Amino acid sequence: MRSTLETLIGQGQVAKALKKNSADKRAVQALQQVLFELGFGKEIKWDKYGADGDYGGATTAAVKAFAEKNGISTDGEAVSAELAGAIIRQHEMVEGLRELKTALDKGNVEKVMARGSSHKSAVVALQYLLRALGFAQELQWDKYGADGDYGGATTAAVAALAKQEGIDSDGSKISAELARKILDKHTPFLGDEWLKAESIPTSASTQSRRRGRSEFEKLFPFSNRDALAIQDELGHTFRFGPLAHDIPGDEFKLEFLQVTKKDGDASYYFPEGHRNNSPKDKIVLHFTAGQISGDFGALTRKDKEISTAFLVGRDGAIYKLFDSVKAWSYHLGSGSMGGNTSMSSSSVGIEISNWGPLKEDGAGNLTTWDHGYWFCTLDQEDAYVKLSRPFRGARYFARITPHQYESVIILLRYLTKTLGIEPNFLPEGKRQATFASHAEAKAFKGICCHVNFRSSGKWDLPEEGFDWEQVIAGVAGSFAPALPQGPRSRSIFSIPQVVSEEEVLEQLQGLERGDQDISKYGEDGPEVDI
């Protein structure tokens, strides 16, 4: 929704679209959604109207309330470019503030926002908050941006903030005192309900009316949520080229988005010609525990060579990060069965974007495991899987979407046919078990899961939480897509062009490869959290 406001500013259309009794319902809905997420739900009468696209008295009151909090003079009956810019800047911060407040309340802020933290989304949130407070130089923002890596630059920024506030800190972590200082600096510009406002694009009354009729699909529409995240959050960093590959023997094609970074960096994978490249004899499925913007950040970190060839969004869109035949990247992890270098270079990794483990909040809801974000109610059984026994401490997991299952099947059909990999799967009861030895891991040829290579270290998805039988039937037998292929929002991406792997490689020539010295990692390589 924020991107709609950004587009209006760029086109010089803010004053025309965002004013009392405006005919541009879509623009007004975007404004209402953003104001709600900024905590002005009471003023906008969200529980009664939601984002109805009507710029009336409630929206006027909310706009005026925001302007007063941010030192801008207005009667609220129209939004100026200055005011829209302020709304956008505050909206960039609010999700991070919720993340910071949640960590503070749970007493684990010093763990999740600390040097070497594996909580990438929390570190990204911190980096945005620090930049807004004027520490872009210390963060080396132009070089790193919000990369989720709490390293030297973030340490320097935290140390500078602590010094400014008279707090003794070497910058290696965010203390509770520092967290409160950050909140105190940002929250005066937000509405009273900023903490409890969630990014749910319907009013509470609308939600209650939809209960029992695939409510989760309505609250979190897979048809556009990931596509909007790509447009809103990642369009500044990445280019997405809509392409397609023929699938031998199938009438349908593999539609995908070829991903390149706008700065030309391609140092997150080893290119064609690297001495450790190997023929691919297996495909490894991965499952994230977060949202797609964080997935992209984790999979494209500069000079890390930690990635997967493909990422599948919740809307079913397939993103191709590098060539699956002649290139490779670490994706199995330190100490993985078979060895991280040899097994990663001889396998194709597919990351399935998913919210991962969930937990009950005691009030009939499920929330995300690390940060406590509302996910769904317990009666929304189409949104989650409840295991018969806990897996790594969690009994509930977010459900893989129907679009994802179809896209994974199409992708596996393409890879098995073009790479000559047999559609061989581990037997039932073994699909979440770690290979017994390096020899067994190397001997397996076919399709398996990341959990088969690592017994601990990340969440993964348990066997019971994934419909293996549907995938096996779709890959090994006859199959015809029942759902639309490719990105679900054709207003964002054009019709794909059919190309070969060689044509894709030609498009990737001349990218910056960075430090591709495999010797710095050794056989086991870096720790992987994807």
Q: Tell me how crowded residue 259 is: count the other CB atoms within 10 A of its CB.
A: 20
Specify which of 60-74, 115-129, 274-288 reaches the highest per-range mean pLDDT. Answer: 60-74
The percentage of residues in the chain with a pLDDT greater than 70, rounded to a whole number, is 87
pLDDT at 424: 96
pLDDT at 119 over 60: yes
Q: Cα dihedral sign for 463, 464, 469, 470? A: negative
pLDDT band at residue 79 using 50, 70 and 90 as cut-offs? very high
- Residues 46 and 31: their CA atoms lie apart, in Å, by 12
pLDDT tens column, 340-357: 888 999 999 999 998 889
Question: CA distances (Å), 240 to each of 4, 195, 224, 429, 515, in order?
Answer: 19, 33, 16, 39, 24
pLDDT band at residue 459 using 50, 70 and 90 as cut-offs? confident
The answer to whether 38 touches 90, Cβ cutoff 8 Å, is yes
Name beta bridge partners: 254. 245
pLDDT tens column, 45-62: 888 888 888 999 999 999
Q: What one-character-per-residue DSSP string does 349-397 give?
A: EEEE----EEEE-SSSEEEETTT--EEEETT-TTSEEEEEEEETTEEEE
pLDDT at 489: 43
- Residues 325 and 272: their CA atoms lie apart, in Å, by 9
The answer to whether 233 touches 148, Cβ cutoff 8 Å, is no
pLDDT tens column, 273-315: 787 888 999 999 999 887 788 889 889 988 888 999 999 998 8
pLDDT band at residue 227 using 50, 70 and 90 as cut-offs? low
pLDDT at 387: 95
Mean pLDDT across the chain: 84
pLDDT band at residue 220 using 50, 70 and 90 as cut-offs? very low
pLDDT at 210: 29
pLDDT at 437: 92
- Residues 440 and 401: their CA atoms lie apart, in Å, by 32
Side chain identity at 342, as an amino acid letter? S
* From 74-88, 201-215, 294-308, 421-435, the region with the lowest mean pLDDT: 201-215
Q: Residue 223 contacts by C-beta under 8 Å, 6 or more apart in sequence?
A: 315, 488, 489
Structure tokens at 83: 């005011």
- Residues 280 and 55: their CA atoms lie apart, in Å, by 57
Q: Tell me how crowded residue 256 is: count the other CB atoms within 10 A of its CB.
A: 28
Burial 271-293 (b: 16+ CB within 10 A, else e): beebeebeebbbbbbbbbbbbbb
Burial 203-234 (b: 16+ CB within 10 A, else e): beebeeeeeeeebbbbbbbbebbbbbbbbebb
pLDDT band at residue 91 using 50, 70 and 90 as cut-offs? confident
pLDDT tens column, 412-440: 999 999 999 999 999 999 999 999 999 99
pLDDT at 488 over 60: no
The percentage of residues in the chain with a pLDDT greater than 90, rounded to a whole number, is 45
Determine which helix (DSSP H) or strand (DSSP E) holds 319, and give its type and residue range.
strand 318-320
pLDDT at 218: 39
pLDDT at 2: 61
* From 133-142, 182-191, 430-439, 504-513, the region with the lowest mean pLDDT: 504-513
Domains and CATH numbers, the chain: 96-189 (no CATH), 239-354+400-520 (3.40.80.10)
Residue range 502-528: mean pLDDT, rounded: 71
> Who wins on pLDDT, 139 or 525?
139
- Residues 113 and 131: their CA atoms lie apart, in Å, by 15
The answer to whether 349 touches 310, Cβ cutoff 8 Å, is yes
Residue range 111-139: mean pLDDT, rounded: 88
Residue 77: strand, helix, or coil: coil
* From 120-124, 159-163, 320-324, 500-504, the region with the lowest mean pLDDT: 120-124
